[in-house]
Amino acid sequence: MRIDHLRYITIVAETGSISHAAERLYITQQGLSQAIRQMERELGVSLLNRTGNKIHLTQVGKRIVEKAKELLVTYDELIDIAKTTGDNFFHTKSSKRITLLTTPFLSGTLLPDMICRFSQKHPNANFVINEKLPQEIIEEICEDRNAIGLFSGLSDRLNHKDFSNANLTFQPFFECEQLVCVTKSSPLANRKSVKPSELAKYPLALYDVGQNASQLSELLKPFGEVKVMLRTGNSKLYRETIASGLAIGFSNSFAEYFEKRNSVVTIPIENTPKFILGWVYCKDTPRNEMQSEFIDQLIQYVNRIRVSA
């Protein structure tokens, strides 16, 4: 049984509602319900009585919640002791660990070179990297409060209330415009910019890594039926499909810094949300020296890209 599951059941008991508890814990209702059911299976008892939208603790559930509260107090005390003890092996090892929760886009563009550079300077750095969608990053940082989240996404999809409600801070460090990718022989190739309405008639190739491609394709829906002829996570196939003239695609100036495509032309799209990069962290969890230096170097690296892009 996981510690976070004990927290879940205590919050459910306090709120009397799965939906309200999920809001406070900043996880999905489905994820919370699954965690409670897993606890019930492991313990072999029912913790909740469910009647419509209302839930009540069973008698054994009440006893378990009381014991869970005691265990959580003890667990938090253990964490405090560990944090204040600086002369043990585990503290030393954890002080060199950098846990990153990142979108697939950033793990394929920004991170490879950045981690290589940082590791050359700090050969003892220990990276743990997990690819997640933005919503999943928020949920996981609430569980692993020492982790750092690296975000990429469209500005209109970033809800800053999501961060503040979860006691997280989001700091953007790069913003750029959206681009359409077309073959060199396309009628659009010599344009300075294009409107979304002009793109609706073209077949689309979507580089389906994360949610940005699908979100961008939604921008074209008001102007007609969107014809998606390819959806792929293979960057080579994606580029070749656009270069051959079979479809148009989407990109942004940050991605183009890494791709350096010679076979396609990129054109700014008017009146579309900006593409934003940023990092998110827990407000009440101090970062260790290694984490702080990594973020500082990451921002310096991105600033060099901004000058070059």
pLDDT in tens, 28-58: 677 788 888 888 888 999 999 877 667 889 9
Per-residue b or e along 23-47, where b marks 16 or more CB atoms closer than 10 Å to that residue's CB: bebbbeeeebbebbeebbeeeeeeb
Contact criterion met (CB below 8 Å) for 151 and 279: yes
Q: The pTM is what?
A: 0.60
Q: Which helix H or strand E contains 228, and what residues bound it? A: strand 228-232
Q: Return the residue matching tokens 């702080």.
A: 292
Q: What's the longest Cα–Cα distance across the chain?
A: 72
Q: Which CATH architecture has domain 178-268?
A: 3-Layer(aba) Sandwich (3.40)
Instruction: Supply 159's token pair.
Output: 């809800």
pLDDT in tens, 177-235: 889 999 999 999 999 999 989 998 899 998 865 556 666 777 788 888 888 888 887 77
User: What are the residue boundaries of the structural domains of the chain, listed by start?
Assistant: 3-84, 89-175+275-308, 178-268
Q: State the Cα–Cα distance between residues 50 and 14, nearest whole angstrom.
A: 15
Q: What is the DSSP letter of 211?
A: S
Q: What is the DSSP string of 141-200?
A: HHHSTT-EEEEEEEGGG--HHHHHHTTEEEEEEEEE-EEEEEETTSTTTT-S-B-HHHHT
Considering just the CA atoms, what is the radius of gyration of the chain in Å? 23
Residue type, 121: K
Q: Which CATH architecture has domain 89-175+275-308?
A: 3-Layer(aba) Sandwich (3.40)
pLDDT per residue, tens digit, the chain (309 aa), is: 778 788 888 888 888 888 878 766 656 677 788 888 888 888 999 999 877 667 889 999 999 999 998 898 888 778 667 656 555 544 444 457 888 998 888 888 888 888 988 988 888 888 888 888 777 888 888 777 788 999 887 777 666 666 766 678 888 888 888 899 999 999 999 999 999 899 988 999 988 655 566 667 777 888 888 888 888 877 788 889 999 999 999 888 888 777 766 778 999 999 888 888 888 888 777 777 888 889 989 888 888 877 665
Q: State the Cα–Cα distance between residues 145 and 264, nearest whole angstrom.
A: 42
Which class does domain 3-84 fall in? Answer: mainly alpha
Instruction: Supply 35's token pair.
Output: 């965690």
The four Cα atoms 111, 104, 286, 300 give a dihedral, to 10 degrees, of 30
User: Cα–Cα–Cα angle for 140, 141, 142, nearest 5°?
Assistant: 85
Contact criterion met (CB below 8 Å) for 204 and 227: yes
Given this chain, do its domains 3-84 and 89-175+275-308 carry the same CATH topology? no
Contact criterion met (CB below 8 Å) for 206 and 249: yes
Torsion angles phi and psi, residue 182, rounded to 5: -135, 160
User: Cα–Cα–Cα angle for 140, 68, 90, nearest 5°?
Assistant: 55
CB atoms within 10 A of CB 191: 15
Look at residues 165, 138, 162, 164 and name the one whose alpha carbon lies nearest to residue 150: 138
Q: Which helix H or strand E contains 70, and what residues bound it? A: helix 59-84
